[in-house]
Amino acid sequence: MTDVKTEDVVLDVKGLQTVFFTNSGLFRAVNDVSFTVRRGETLAIVGESGCGKSVTALSIMRLVPDPPGRIVGGSVMLEGTDLLGLDEDRMRQIRGNRVSMIFQEPMTSLNPVMRIGDQITEAVRLHRTITKAEAWKQAVEMLRLVRIPEPERRALEYPHQLSGGMRQRAMIAMALACRPALLIADEPTTALDVTIQAQILALVLELQNELGMGLILITHDLGVVAQTAQRVIVMYAGKKVEEADVETLFASPRHPYTRGLMASIPAVPSQHAKADARLTEIPGMVPSLINLPPGCAFAPRCKLAIARCHEEYPPLQAWEPGHLAACWRAAETADLP
């Protein structure tokens, strides 16, 4: 990691551990994960479903359902305040104010029986001492800011009256109404068609630039990462297995799992490409987090695995400034075609 002034760091996560107590055993959803987010920076967290990226986001927001989940270790420092040490009343003052989150599916986050304007107004008045009329005016302005046409009319409508893309914009308006220092976007475009996806991502980045906030983008789509992020963390089986700036990661991935994710990105077909060419896939499945194998969790799926990979978990090492990878063969992988 390069040196960063403390005042530039919005979020500093150290050794985060989140577990779920299930009938089958202890499920280690987030296992000793650390990272920082700076003001104005986009950090992407990528990996397959079940790797722990969404639970990492919920842990930062203190929204892990307890029971069965519990944050059992680490610290989450937001602008110098450890969120894990706060009681729920104090956390409610920060959540939606200094840190906000937008989710995959807006219909699960928006109240179906409240008008869009009332929902944004409620979020604003929870954290600001202003009249209902002033908050309504601010809600309309937020809808205008996220490029919703006729915001005065749309503020009077209910979620079901909006398209999927408009609902996502309304949720972004609500998340940004109090100008947070940090925004977490968890797969914010998965439920939308490709054209709307591009519009929503461009909008989020434009607003991030305008408001100067840190952004955590959680996604499984490396194409989105290439277009939007400055740094990226790759997670597998609850652990961080690689971290680098986007250019370095795409040019020289050190972890075989990262290489596998990149190989599975659809390429633009060339004139001479075979019509029946298949995408490369990573063999096998993500292991159960209740019963992880000894050594590296990726070893059973890895073509480069050696005996040591099945016996000892590799340390997260810096291979060059700002580029970390946890792999016994990381020194060799950068030279592979």
Digit-coded pLDDT (tens) for 20-41: 998 888 999 999 999 999 999 9
pLDDT, residue 71, reads 97
Residue 303: burial class (beta carbons within 10 Å; 0-12, 13-18, 19+)? exposed
Query: Residue 22 corresponds to which tokens in the numbers above?
Result: 């299930």
The continuous run of DSSP H or E covering 227 comes out as: helix 222-228
- What number of other Cβ atoms are within 10 A of residue 89's Cβ? 7
CB 159 within 8 A of CB 116: yes
The continuous run of DSSP H or E covering 69 comes out as: strand 69-78
- Kindly tell me if the per-residue pLDDT of 254 is higher than 90: yes
> Is omega for the bond preceding 294 within 30 degrees of 0, making it cis?
no
For residues 134-143, average pLDDT: 96
For residues 138-151, average pLDDT: 94
For residues 316-325, average pLDDT: 94
Fill in the amino acid letter for 222: L
Q: Where are the alpha helices (DSSP H) in 96-148?
A: 116-127, 132-145
Torsion 55-60-62-67 (CA) sign = positive
pLDDT, residue 194, reads 80
More confident residue, 269 or 204: 204
- Kindly tell me if the per-residue pLDDT of 266 is higher than 70: no
Q: Which residue from 119, 71, 63 is spatially nearest to 91, judged by alpha carbons? A: 63
Pick the range with the lowest mean pLDDT from 5-19, 78-92, 128-142: 5-19
Which pLDDT tens digit goes with each residue over 145-154?
A: 999 999 999 9
Q: Which residue from 60, 94, 82, 109 is spatially nearest to 178, judged by alpha carbons? A: 94
* pTM, full prediction: 0.90
Query: Residue 326 corresponds to which tokens in the numbers above?
Result: 């946890």
